[in-house]
C-alpha cells in the first residue's frame, strides 16, 4: 500500500474520532470518549505508517511542501495531544486538537505530491530539527489553548450562570499551571530547534544565520517565550495576564510566520 492509501485511512479514523468527540461534547458534556481515543490511536498508527512509507517513497524526510508539511504537522500535533492527554487528562484539549488535525490531514489528502527532491533534504538534521521545532511551537500552541480556556472559564464564572462550557473546561488553576509548564517545555524545545537549525545552516552554507523567514519567526517566538517566562517567574504574573500573554505571543508568532513567508513570495510573484 502506498502512503496515499495509508493517509486516507488515517483521515477516516480521525474523522470518526473527531465526530464522536464533538457529538459527545454537545450532548453529554464529556469531550473525550474511549471510542474517539481508540479511533485517534488507530488513526495515529496509520498516520505513522503513511509517514514512514512516504519517507521511503520520497527518499528524504517528508516535511517539505504543502502535502508533506501538513501531513507531518498533523502527525506531530496528534503526538503532542496524546502526550498532553496522558500527562494532564484535560478533555477540553481535544476540542483544539481534533479539528486542527482533521483539517491538516484533509489538506494533505487533497494536495498532489511535489516532485522536488533536493539532495539537501536527505540530511538527518531535517527530522531532528523539525521534531524539535514542532514541539517548540506546539507547546506555544498548547499555552495559547490553555490561555483561551482560562479566559473562557473566567468569563463563565463571572457571568454566574453556567453554560455548557463551564462543565467541560478545567479549573482556572489547572489551565494556568498547564499553560505555565507548556511555556517552560516549549522554551527548551525551541532553543534546541534553533541550535540544530544553526548547525544545519552551517553545514550547508558555512554560515549560522541566513536571513530565512523561518529564522526570524523562530527568533521572535524565542523572544516571546523569554518574555512570558520572565513575566511569570520574575514578576509573578499568573492567571489572566499570563493567559493574555500566551495568546498574544502565539498570535505574534503566527503573524510573523505569515508575514515572513508571504511577503517574499508576493515579492517574487511581482517580479
Out of 99, 167, 262, 266, which residue is the one contacting other proteins (CB under 8 A)?
A: 167
- Site mask for other proteins (CB under 8 A), range 231-250, x = bound: -----xxxxxx---------
Q: Is 87 a binder of other proteins (CB under 8 A)?
A: no
Q: What is the DSSP string of 107-130?
A: HHHHSPPP----GGGGSTHHHHHH
In the complex, minimum distance from the CB of residue 92 to other proteins, in angstroms, rounded to a whole number: 13
For residues 144 and 12, give the distance between their C-alpha atoms in angstroms, rounded to a whole number: 28
Count of Cβ atoms closer than 10 Å to residue 203 Cβ: 11
Q: Is 88 a binder of other proteins (CB under 8 A)?
A: no
Q: Taking contact as CB under 8 A, which single stretch among the options 92-100, 170-178, 188-196, 226-234 is the one that binds other proteins?
A: 170-178
Out of 108, 132, 172, 245, which residue is the one contacting other proteins (CB under 8 A)?
A: 172
What three-state secondary structure class fits 33? coil
What 8-state DSSP symbol labels residue 206? S
Q: Taking contact as CB under 8 A, which single stretch among the options 64-72, 110-118, 129-137, 153-161 is the one that binds other proteins?
A: 153-161
Half-sphere exposure of 120 (CA within 13 A, CB side): 10
How many residues sit in the footprint of other proteins (CB under 8 A)? 23
- The DSSP element (H or E) to which 61 belongs, if any, is none
Q: How far is CA 17 from CA 44, 52, 57, 264, in A?
A: 11, 23, 28, 38
Q: Which is nearer to other proteins, 152 or 216 (CB)?
A: 152
Q: CA quadruple 87, 150, 240, 79: dihedral positive or negative?
A: positive
Site for other proteins in 7-36 (CB under 8 A): 28-30
Q: Is 258 a binder of other proteins (CB under 8 A)?
A: no
Q: Is 155 a binder of other proteins (CB under 8 A)?
A: no
Binding site for other proteins (CB under 8 A): 28-30, 153, 157-158, 160-162, 166-167, 170-174, 177, 236-241
Amino acid at each position: 500500500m502506498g502512503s496515499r492509501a495509508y493517509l486516507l485511512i488515517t483521515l477516516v479514523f480521525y474523522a470518526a474520532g473527531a465526530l464522536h468527540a464533538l457529538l459527545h461534547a454537545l450532548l453529554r458534556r464529556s469531550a473525550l470518549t474511549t471510542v474517539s481515543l481508540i479511533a485517534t490511536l488507530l488513526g495515529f498508527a496509520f498516520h505513522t505508517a503513511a509517514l514512514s512509507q512516504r519517507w521511503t517513497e520520497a527518499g528524504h524526510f517528508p516535511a517539505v511542501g504543502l502535502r508533506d508539511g501538513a501531513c507531518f504537522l498533523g502527525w506531530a500535533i496528534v503526538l503532542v495531544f496524546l502526550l498532553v492527554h496522558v500527562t494532564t487528562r484535560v478533555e477540553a484539549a481535544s476540542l483544539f486538537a481534533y479539528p486542527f488535525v482533521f483539517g491538516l490531514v484533509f489538506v494533505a489528502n487533497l494536495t498532489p505530491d511535489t516532485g522536488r527532491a533536493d539532495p539537501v533534504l536527505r540530511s538527518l538534521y531535517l527530522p531532528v530539527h523539525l521534531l524539535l521545532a514542532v514541539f517548540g511551537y506546539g507547546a506555544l500552541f498548547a499555552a495559547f489553548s490553555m490561555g483561551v480556556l482560562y479566559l473562557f472559564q473566567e468569563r463563565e464564572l463571572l457571568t454566574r450562570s453556567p453554560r455548557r462550557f463551564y462543565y467541560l473546561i478545567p479549573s482556572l488553576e489547572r489551565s494556568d499551571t498547564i499553560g505555565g509548564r507548556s511555556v517552560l517545555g516549549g522554551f527548551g524545545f525551541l532553543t534546541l530547534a534553533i541550535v540544530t537549525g544553526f548547525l544545519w545552516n552551517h553545514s550547508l552554507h558555512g554560515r549560522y544565520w541566513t536571513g530565512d523567514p523561518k529564522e526570524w519567526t523562530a527568533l521572535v517566538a524565542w523572544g516571546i517565550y523569554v518574555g512570558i517566562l520572565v513575566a511569570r517567574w520574575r514578576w509573578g504574573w499568573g492567571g489572566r495576564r499570563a493567559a493574555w500573554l500566551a495568546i498574544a505571543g502565539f498570535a505574534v508568532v503566527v503573524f510573523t510566520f505569515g508575514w515572513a513567508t508571504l511577503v517574499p513570495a508576493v515579492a517574487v510573484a511581482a517580479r
